Amino acid sequence: MEHTPAGSRLHAVGDEGIPVRRIAERIGDHLHLPVTSVPVEQSAEHFGWLGPIFAMDTPASSAITRKLMDWHPARPGLLADLDAGHYFAR
Dump pLDDT digits (tens) for 58-85: 888 899 899 999 999 898 999 999 999 8
Q: Is the pLDDT of residue 90 over 90?
A: no
Contacts 24+ apart (CB under 8 A), 10-15: 10/62, 10/64, 10/65, 10/68, 10/69, 11/60, 11/61, 11/62, 11/64, 11/65, 12/62, 12/65, 12/71, 13/60, 13/61, 13/62, 14/62, 14/73, 14/75, 14/77, 14/78, 15/77, 15/78, 15/79
Dump pLDDT digits (tens) for 10-58: 888 888 888 888 999 999 999 999 999 999 899 899 999 998 888 887 8
The pLDDT value recorded for residue 3 is 80
Does the reported pTM lie above 0.85? no
* 3-class secondary-structure state, position 88: coil
